[in-house]
Amino acid sequence: MSYRSRFTLFLLAVTLCIGCLIWAPGTASAQTRHHIWFGFGYSNLPSDELKDASIGVDFSNAGNGVLAYRYSLNPQFDLTLDSRGTVSTDKVQGVDLTLMGSFFGPGVRWHPGSNLYVQANFFAVSEHAEAEENGVKISGSESGTGFGVSGGFDIPMTPLLSLPIELNYNYGKPADDISGFGGTIGLAFNFGQMK
């Protein structure tokens, strides 16, 4: 099964779970134990390894996405498990090029006050490059380790829903330096009251 197929199945399963949670009885109060959030945004990948002016390739502009679960230990600290990714595309002389970076791993989130948060993660990092021309596709992947730091605001909208707005930096160099800065906006589902 391909990387994209596995990711699509994963997103479908999470979407179904989230749908069930929306209609579950006894939705959460402001002090919640479990959080699932997803978001999309933009990342800049500044490494010179992702650009080649001589052939006109530039992967520095990327879309980003995040799907994450958090478990609140108390009102100040959460444990997290994040799946983050970036996708860059380009086209050179009729060849479609795609560069995908994925970051998956645990972390800790700290809430210093109000709706502000700061988070740090350790990541297993994967880089997947793909070239396609006239239906013929060539691809390759490399793996490594990295880390991420992020921070932002998680703005409550209802007892169940909140709106995370985040700035982040992810570091990883499996083959190329796919590190970058980004901004993400999303939707969080918060449920399970703290005891």
User: Which residue reads 């691809």 in tokens?
Assistant: 139
Give the separation between CA 131 and CA 75, rounded to whole angstroms.
47
What is the predicted pLDDT for the residue at 20?
43
94-117 per-position pLDDT tens digit = 899 999 999 999 999 999 987 899
Give the separation between CA 6 and CA 71, rounded to whole angstroms.
25
CATH number given to 3-193: 2.40.160.20
Q: Is the pLDDT of residue 3 over 60?
A: no
Give the pLDDT band (50/70/90) at residue 56: confident
What is the predicted pLDDT for the residue at 195?
62
Q: Is the pLDDT of residue 140 over 60?
A: yes
Q: How much is the pTM? A: 0.81
Cβ neighbours around 74 below 10 Å, total: 9
Domain ranges of the chain: 3-193
12-47 per-position pLDDT tens digit = 545 554 454 444 433 333 467 899 999 999 999 999
**What is the separation of C-alpha 178 from the centre of its chain, rounded to a whole number of angstroms?**
14
| Sign of torsion over alpha carbons 128, 146, 6, 154 | negative
Give the separation between CA 81 and CA 70, rounded to whole angstroms.
6
Give the separation between CA 142 and CA 157, rounded to whole angstroms.
40
